[in-house]
A and B are shown apart, each in its own frame.
Chain A
């Protein structure tokens, strides 16, 4: 049985866990002092050796990303922390920054030192104002304590940290769109190459890392590579936060070694909602193909989830029981992608617009058999054709759900209505009459 490993979440239950004092009393900022005494190249090597992979979803090796920066030319280079957590179901960076912003700030300081950056940015999702305030306060505390600013802890290393709140666009979680947004432009993905490591923020070499990736660095510095690599599976090392939501008894963040299974996590979370059983789930947010009970024992690491036909993504485990209409769930997700498509490329912009209309029609029981095929055909015109990964993500749940639950789609057609009682799946008092969500094509005219 895999045990939880609270590394980033270890002090979340303490009184005023977000204060620097609390963090310091629990060993916080010792890694920064240690790192400032190390050679920068050794730090990069350490992170490479640890096998830490990007925790934002794609899983690109963090140390390798740092290593892509060109040699120092004396001009600015930047660290940008991607804190634009917006993926449906994903809820790890925001609670982390809420409960312990200092572990992120310490990670930012160490990472900046390692990559020779003197100005780091934290790009935060704009809607979470409470987190924004907490980050600002934490950065202020860190400046006052000399963890940031000039000559940090007498090392001669200077670092400024800017916390920037976005304007609420999912696309700005895409790293190049994030950089455009941070520069004050319209947030749309950039053409690559050049990659951010070569020409990122203000056309300077830039490392863009997820909050959890950066926050994982202090513990690696403190505890060593072996401590880190002892956790996880062969190619997915270390610990990660698994966010469980939906029809489980105790939803929340579970920090565990990579490779833990949903069966184990469900056990820790007290199992499914009383009297219900698992129907389907997402391993890594709504952009990853859905799983069913067949994958209960799939190790949640990059390789195993990939081999099982999905992606580890952000480890956002949305759990749905048998009361849930899969067509309805997929329609909601698709509406999200339609709403969040930035509009830059044809497949994503037009495709999500079309998919939403087909799905709403199907869900309302007004669809046809041909519509199910059209869904797949339209997905085929989006997946692998769009400018960035958002388009691919928009099709994942549709393709996988049609594959796994085709008969449910067909029932909507043959029965001429949704066969599910929507109130039964709700976790709150819900009346189908008052919360009518009939397809409103008028929206298209907005």
Chain B
């Protein structure tokens, strides 16, 4: 065999299933080999992403295999095809060709049903239930079980979102195996035994301790509630019966009434494939769509359950224009004309700032970028509704934009070592965490953070303790195990968007990447962040990573756009736009999907700006001060492309056709009114243009950043650490109380030494920043870096940008008590 022979790489075996020969890689399970030739063996516990259990026994088949002398001998009993691996010369007969296998499977089916309530008519799973389907195929028309069924109280709430109906459960252990093997959150497990065996959370009553105390604490969060996993919704999806249901979907619909549309989740930068199930224009639920290269079989609970935000009562359907101080519904032409008039006046005056927000598709972001340059004549555009810096922009322009597919999910899984800086795998990564966890035990993980978060702990990560703001020093001085591990082939450094708040950190990360040879990847939080970078929706970046400050780059873009020139004046970034709008240096703001509470000072800026145009799905806080509000479509009602953190284009089609317009179409209309043909009226037109532009030539890119580390805080100062928890009060999670109930409790964290110094024992802490009200939340003493206080960025009672008006890494005031 030659090296190019694809078969040379894999040892294969050839066997016969139902008389058909099949050749599969060694180690393949019989059930998988059968799938390859279209032979379906019924199963419940088997799931390709989980380790075999062999628990349900539904997949029994007859097997004969060669003995040492090569004589093919039948096994005396039917074998579970989900646990037995193939052998050369094996002869398998499934229920299609073996009476014994058929009888065995029918027997198991009968037993599975004796205690099952057979309540299909009222069960959420009815119509898409493997148990129902297989029972219809091979079950008895009438039950022979005339005795007493086992009954349980139902449903049992495993969390506010996940409900368990133990009567329907066939104890296949898919959910418990998912929780242990994939998510690492053993929040449920088997309890009791025999016919009384059941799934449950840690519960003394179920376990019947009979006066004995449970051994060891149950997994719970700081509030003492049973712990909830960020990935628990996947258990509902893989449950082969109707035992696990979600509060949000329970009793809402029948699967055969739903229309399913494939899509891409708008909740994070991973671009997970989802399936949106809707009925008469209303989304009923969302499921994970299998995508082997991105999210595999799984999505986060946010991806799954957070969709009702777009159909709240404040959903905008008609344009609004402020007349006599009140927003009134007007026609599109009137609204566009009003918006254009206001923007034109501001453009011709001191200028317009554009804040598209980080949740847009590539096409929408491109339209904003082009509109700002051509119709508003400015580089004052920044999609980063978060801490941002010039250093970050230089980093994004030099390293990320136009780089195409860089480090991928698969690369991350295969990486021998991963260093995470300013990045929390569970809270900010979602399915990134799941992919890394697949390599648990095979991958060395290091996390530069103030403490070892639960997610990092589940990755068996080594903590490189660092206070926020000091990451640059840590990276510059990195030696020892972590440095050596990063020198291995395929090692990866992940930097999160939070590093923008730390001077010198991205510079240091680039340097470390060069020194070690480790690949560097930027994983932002929001779905539109990478697309905005690619589209040039940043002040210093034009599409494709072209620097707005480089004349040749501007010329190239101007040529592509068919204009003389694009603006050359340096643009303001998000903070500068907010400041300028507040001080009157900018006369108008064009705001996309931005929550003012995410950007310090934005609420004031919107209030003070002379003229504000808001493009929003819902009547948001921006709208309340806006002069013109233009309704735009939520992701489920439009087509577009999210560019995920890998640089992969994640295109999706319209799931629910409505007359809502995408931002790029609205901006196209607006530009026309401003006298500019933007050419962004359709997805096709935008994409053709982006493709024609291509990536920047190296000489057209910004230079890599060379920022210096910031100064250390004074002794005794307490520095703020903060990140968004996955389930929090983000605007896209509105209207989903069941999901909110699974979020982590809001707590502040501080080290034992800092607690001592501040005289904190237990209770609450009040943290104040550079303005705002400050926050008072319960605090927990945590093993962490001294002189740091950690707060969740936007959890209930802890809205850092709004109430502290500061960013992580800055000094805050901490007071014990309220």
Contact = CB atoms under 8 A, between A and B. Distances in A.
Interface in A313-372: 338-347, 349-354, 357-358, 361
B108 A338 contact: no
Given A374-B144, A384-B77, A445-B151, A346 B56 contact: yes
Given A186-B190, A191-B53, A339-B194, A346 B112 contact: yes
B56 A353 contact: no
A338 B115 CA distance: 14
B410 interface: no
A346 B192 contact: no
Contact of A346 (B52, B170, B194): B170
B145 interface: yes
Interface string B112-147: 101100000000000000000000000000001101
Interface residues of B, number: 39
A427 interface: no
Nearest to A368: B146
A380 B104 CA distance: 8
Nearest to A190: B54
B181 to A, nearest CB: 14
B204 to A, nearest CB: 16
Interface residues of A, number: 38
Contacts of A342: 193-194, 197
Contacts of A441: 147-148
B196 interface: yes
B100 to A, nearest CB: 9
Interface string B174-218: 000000000000000110111111000000000000000000000
B54 A358 contact: no
A351 B151 contact: no
Contact of B108 (A339, A341, A381): A381
Contacts of B78: 384-385
B195 A385 contact: no
Contacts of B104: 381, 384-385
Contacts of A385: 57, 60, 77-78, 104, 107-108
Contacts of B189: 186
Given A345-B54, A357-B147, A350 B190 contact: no
B83 A191 contact: yes
Select the residue from B111, B115, B150 with max chain A CB neighbours within 10 A.
B111
Given A343-B194, A349-B194, A387-B57, A381 B147 contact: no
A350 B53 contact: no
Given A350-B111, A381-B111, A338 B57 contact: no
B76 interface: yes
A387 B60 CA distance: 11
B171 A381 contact: no
Contacts of A25: none
A110 B135 CA distance: 55
A169 interface: yes
B194 A444 contact: no
B55 interface: yes
Contacts of A345: 54-57
A342 B173 CA distance: 14
B115 A350 contact: yes
Given A341-B195, A349-B194, A387 B55 contact: yes
A384 B103 CA distance: 12
Interface string B228-266: 000000000000000000000000000000000000000
B147 A169 contact: no
Interface string A370-392: 00001001101110111100000
A294 B108 CA distance: 35
A1 interface: no
A381 B80 CA distance: 14
A433 to B, nearest CB: 25
Given A191-B53, A357-B148, A358-B147, A350 B195 contact: yes
24 contacts: A169-B193, A186-B190, A191-B52, A343-B171, A343-B190, A343-B192, A345-B57, A346-B108, A347-B57, A349-B171, A349-B197, A350-B112, A350-B114, A352-B194, A357-B147, A374-B144, A377-B107, A381-B108, A382-B107, A385-B77, A387-B55, A387-B57, A441-B147, A444-B149
Interface of B: 52-58, 60, 76-78, 80, 83, 103-104, 107-108, 110-112, 114-115, 144-145, 147-151, 170-171, 189-190, 192-197
Interface of A: 169, 171, 186, 188, 191, 338-347, 349-354, 357-358, 361, 374, 377-378, 380-382, 384-387, 441, 444-446
Given A345-B54, A350-B115, A444-B148, 16 more contacts: A171-B193, A186-B189, A186-B190, A191-B52, A191-B83, A338-B195, A343-B193, A345-B55, A346-B171, A350-B195, A352-B195, A357-B147, A377-B144, A381-B110, A384-B104, A444-B149
